[in-house]
Structures are given as structure tokens and as C-alpha cells.
Amino acid sequence: MLNGHGGNIYELSQRLGCAPSDIIDMSSNVNPLPPLTGLVEFIIKNIHAIAALPQVDARSAVLAFAARYNINAEHVIAGNGTTQFICAIPQALETKKALILGPTYAGYADACNMHNVPYDYLMTEESLDFQPNIDVLIEQISDHDTVFICNPNNPTGTLMLKADLERLCRFHPDTHFVIDESYLPFVNDSERLSMFKSGFPNVLILNSMSKIFRIPGLRIGFLIAPGQTIEKFRPFLLPWNVNSMAQTAVDYLMKHTDEADAFIDKTILLLENQRKYMAEAFEDVDGIKLFPSKTSFVLAKLDENITANILCNHLAADRILIRNCSNFRGLSEYFIRISLKTTDINRMLADKIINFLHSI
């Protein structure tokens, strides 16, 4: 499980004989901006909290999150990243057969395999830029009791409209819909697009702070669902599952909303400009196609003259890490994913890829 994911800067740095900080990591989907200065200072100031056990159920973090988004705290639980909840879903929901909208994050299939739960994939089509067909999805759901949807999707960057998701949930009221919104904060007007206030009894929302605030090492995730569904997960929660520094970070981010919102707005504007730059940079370049994206990363396909492995190895020699997408079910050895960074880094990467493609 956990093999072949992005962000393996430690393996590459060991291979190249350099420090992990020397690697330009464009394989892991985190905010290109550094963490909020105020947040970092607050964590340092409260570092003494590591001398005692954290709050056993992270209740303060749950209350702060619920208050920030004006939702019932009994409909929220906090975890050690969203992965903890994903792994528990087949057991907690007593899933008999799952459907995964792909190509997508491997963790949903990993969770099913962990609990010997059968699952099917419904793959979106490359010819449609991987945008889901709602009518097809409605038809395919019929014999599945749990559906996994990443929205926006990793690695395709596609976004399903809230109206389409609501239509799915209404059409199949007896099916659980697990909607992973880990990348939704990177999208403009994300709170309006989110499903966590939809009120559907069959919807579970995964929310991550790790990516948008660039604090993946703290492991902060939330599950939002109706109270009865939340109760099904409590037997699978370990005590002290959210560490002291993670709870400290939640406390800061949920109370310093102006600072956090300004940071998100700055991020969204940066990414909009960088997606536009990358699209224009590669528009007339032979050998590579970029797919439209709504989030912090861009999926691309290479032509048959070069594989993702060849390009990734070439860039790795220059201490640049991008995501080889050949192990995503539904993609091939010609797909890569680029996690966007700042202007200078993106321009440097584009130049290196274009020069390499021209040299072949």
C-alpha cells in the first residue's frame, strides 16, 4: 500500500547523495506557498504541548472546525489525515461492493483490499478530458452500496458540479457516497461547491487541511457525515489519533480566519495564473498534451516516443521530482502529473521538459 505515491523525496535524495531539501518536489500535491508564518510561529510558541498527551478525541479541534464552517459538531470527527478514515470506511459502513470513479487516488482501492471488499472501477474517458458522465455513473451505481468520488479528482484535476453530485445522491438514496474534497480548497468559491452542508443522509465528506495549508507532516483530516454515520466510525478511532501539534494548528487556523482566507485566496490566484502559463507554454509543443485542471496539479500525456519513466528519470537527475502516473489504474506509462509551484520553478520545469522533448 503507500508505494508509488508522490512526494518520495527521501528515496531520491538518498540516491543522488543530497539533502531532501535539495529536491524540487513537484510530485506531491501541496500548496506551492510556504505555510502561514503566523501558524508556524504559533506552533513553535506552543511546542511545550508535546510534553503531555494530546486531547484524546481531539474534541477542541472538532468544535473549532464545526464553528468555523457553521455545522453541527456531532457530524464531525477528526483524524490522522483523511487516510485514516478511508481505511476505515469499508468496515464502518459494512460495504458489500464498492464503486470507484477513476482514474483516481489508489487509497480507495487499498482500503477495499485491506478488508477484502470487492470493488469495480468506472473509468472516465480521455477523449472527454476525463470529465465524468453523470448519466453513465447513475446507471453503474445500481449494484454498489458505496461509491468513492474524489472531487476535484486526483490526478485528472476534473471538478464535478455540486448539482450533479446532488443528483447522484438523490437517485441512489440507499448508497453511501464518499466524496473526497481534499483538493476543493484550491478551487475558487469552494465553500459554495462543497457538499458538507448538503444534508444528504447518504453522503460522507473527507476534508483535508494538510494540502491547502502545506502542513502534510502534521496529518490533519476531518470526516463530515450525518450523526448516525459518524457513530459507526467511532469504534475504529484510536485514542490520541490527532497529535498535539496538529490540534494546535487547527486551533490557530480556525480562529485566524481572515489570515487563513487571505492565504487561500492568494493561493487560488497563483494557481490560476500558473495553470494558464503552463497551458500556454505547452500549447504548440509536440510530444505532450496537458489536460484542463481546476486544482493545484496538472495531468499530462506524452506521445509514444517517450515514457513517463524516461522523463521522470531525466528530471530526477536534476533533482526535480514529478509524478509518474503509470501505476494509476486507467492510465498508462505515458502519463505524468505536475504539481504546480511558483512562477520561476514552473518556468524552469517547462523549459527543461520542452528542451528534452526537442532533443529526442
CA atoms in the 13 A half-sphere facing the CB of 189: 5
What is the arrangement of strands in the sheet containing 297-302, beginning at the earlier edge strand? 24-26, 320-324, 335-339, 297-302, 288-290
Cell of 98: 464498492
The residue assigned the cell 497563483 is 270
Domain layout of the chain by residue ranges? 9-35+259-351, 42-256
Contact status, residue 207 vs residue 71, Cβ threshold 8 Å: no
Pick the closest to residue 267 from 332, 339, 315, 171 (CA basis): 339
Cell of 151: 472531487
Sign of dihedral through CA atoms 22, 24, 30, 36? Answer: positive
pLDDT on residue 3: 47
Pick the closest to residue 102 from 331, 338, 348, 340 (CA basis): 331
The residue assigned the cell 523525496 is 9
| 189 DSSP assignment | T
Same fold, 9-35+259-351 and 42-256: no
pTM of the model: 0.95
Cell of 49: 504541548
N residues, the chain: 360
Q: Give the separation between CA 298 and CA 353, rounded to whole angstroms.
A: 14
Q: What is the pLDDT along the chain (360 residues), one digit of tens a residue?
A: 444 455 588 888 888 888 888 889 999 999 999 999 999 999 999 999 999 999 999 999 999 999 999 999 999 999 999 999 999 999 999 999 999 999 999 999 999 999 999 999 999 999 999 999 999 999 999 899 999 999 999 999 999 999 999 999 999 999 999 999 999 999 999 999 999 988 999 999 999 999 999 999 999 999 999 999 999 999 998 899 999 999 999 999 999 999 999 999 999 999 999 999 999 999 999 999 999 999 999 999 999 889 999 999 999 999 999 999 999 999 999 999 999 999 999 999 999 999 999 998
Q: Is 226 exposed, middle or buried (0-12, 13-18, 19+ CB in 10 A)?
A: middle
Q: Which CATH class is domain 42-256?
A: alpha beta
Query: Domain 9-35+259-351: what homologous superfamily?
Result: Aspartate Aminotransferase, domain 1 (3.90.1150.10)
Cell of 282: 505547452
Pick the closest to residue 204 from 293, 93, 308, 283 (CA basis): 93
pLDDT on residue 9: 83
Contact status, residue 219 vs residue 81, Cβ threshold 8 Å: yes
**How distant, in Å, are the alpha carbons of 53, 78, 209 from that of 39?**
21, 19, 13
Question: Which amino acid, 44?
Answer: I
pLDDT on residue 12: 84
**How distant, in Å, are the alpha carbons of 69, 70, 271, 280 from that of 276?**
31, 34, 8, 6
| 237 DSSP assignment | P
The residue assigned the cell 510561529 is 41
pLDDT on residue 5: 56
pLDDT on residue 10: 84
Contact status, residue 118 vs residue 98, Cβ threshold 8 Å: yes
Q: Give the separation between CA 303 and CA 164, rounded to whole angstroms.
A: 33
Spell 58-97 as b/e; 16+ CB within 10 A means b.
Answer: bebbbbbbbeebeeeeebbbbbbbbbbbbbbbbbbbebee
Pick the closest to residue 96 from 11, 205, 174 (CA basis): 174
Q: In what helix (H) or strand (E) does residue 217 lie, and over which residues does it extend?
A: none
3-state DSSP helix/strand/coil % of the chain, to nearest 5: 45, 15, 40
